[in-house]
Amino acid sequence: MGDTEEVKLLGVWFSPYAIRPKIALRIKSVDYDYFEEDLFGSKSELLLKSNPVHKKVPVLIHNNKPILESLNIVEYIDETWNASGPSILPSHPHDRAQARFWSAFVDDKWFPALKAAAITKSEEAKEKGMKEVEGGLLQLEEAFVSISKGKPFFGGEAIGFMDICLGSFVGILKAREKLKGEKLLDESKIPFLCKWANEFLSDDTVKNVVPEIDKVVEFLGELEVRAQSAVSKT
């Protein structure tokens, strides 16, 4: 690849979805310019121009062409810089299909359940939602055991596609535990995922990319205050 590579990433520091391309770019040793979007203010011109449909981060801009949706961006990075660094998606078609299946489970089913349980005012809905979240983690524990085959990551010896997908939420889980006392990463229920989560956070490709847990705790606290004041205004 020529020296004219221009890579920009638009994100929000806290967003699990924006963390994903950052890890992928790091695995592939790609230099890029990072643009922080204002979560509560107005969206930048660059964001509106690059993602007019959803107006959401992350957006990767490679030589003026925007690529959207976090896991789509991760796949794009893996394919574009395929000669650099380890492969992010598994090489075998069946393993690749597995990684995509479980990533879709995390994004379409598991995380939405956690989000809904976190914002609902009804105790009953919260309890039902958290049960679903815990059930999902048990399924992910089984998937991890079968996919990792005794190695530290879903991707084997190194962080791969599914690690990036689920790992991007680990900070939020640990922050909610500090803030709410919700122990979702429970060693007695999901010992393998708990060990995996710690390995993930201490890996060199992740270490300075995932925000510090205390910073996330503070931010989640602020979000709650904002949500409550918005409710009291209506």
- The answer, yes or no, to whether residue 233 has pLDDT greater than 90, is no
- Report d(CA 66, CA 6) in Å as an integer: 11
Looking at the chain, how many residues does it have?
234
Sign of CA pseudo-dihedral 26, 28, 30, 35:
negative
Name the band, by pLDDT with cuts 50, 70 and 90, for residue 234.
low
User: What is the pairing mode between strands 33-36 and 7-11?
Assistant: parallel
Mean pLDDT of the chain: 94
pLDDT tens for 73-104 read 999 999 999 999 999 999 999 999 999 999 99
Domain 7-81 sits in CATH at 3.40.30.10
- Report d(CA 129, CA 113) in Å as an integer: 6
Q: What is the mean pLDDT of residues 97-112?
A: 97
CATH architecture of 93-222: Up-down Bundle (1.20)
Q: What is the dihedral of CA 108, 29, 77, 195, to 10 degrees?
A: -20
- The answer, yes or no, to whether residue 2 has pLDDT greater than 60, is no
Contact yes or no for 99/160 (Cβ under 8 A): yes
- The answer, yes or no, to whether residue 232 has pLDDT greater than 90, is no
- Report d(CA 150, CA 144) in Å as an integer: 9
From residue 130, alpha-carbon distances to 28, 119, 194 in Å are 36, 12, 18
- Report d(CA 106, CA 125) in Å as an integer: 20
Name the band, by pLDDT with cuts 50, 70 and 90, for residue 25.
very high
- Report d(CA 190, CA 184) in Å as an integer: 9
pLDDT tens for 131-188 read 999 999 999 999 999 999 999 999 999 999 999 999 999 999 999 999 988 899 999 9
The predicted pLDDT at position 3 comes to 57
Long-range contacts at 138-144 (CB < 8 A, ≥ 24 apart): 138/189, 138/190, 139/105, 140/102, 140/105, 140/106, 140/110, 140/166, 140/190, 140/193, 141/189, 141/190, 141/191, 141/192, 141/193, 143/98, 143/102, 144/192, 144/193, 144/196
Single-letter amino acid code for the residue at 49: K
Domain ranges across the chain: 7-81, 93-222
Place of tokens 């393998």: 192
- Report d(CA 113, CA 128) in Å as an integer: 9
Same fold, 7-81 and 93-222: no
Reported pTM: 0.94
Contact yes or no for 21/76 (Cβ under 8 A): no
Single-letter amino acid code for the residue at 57: V
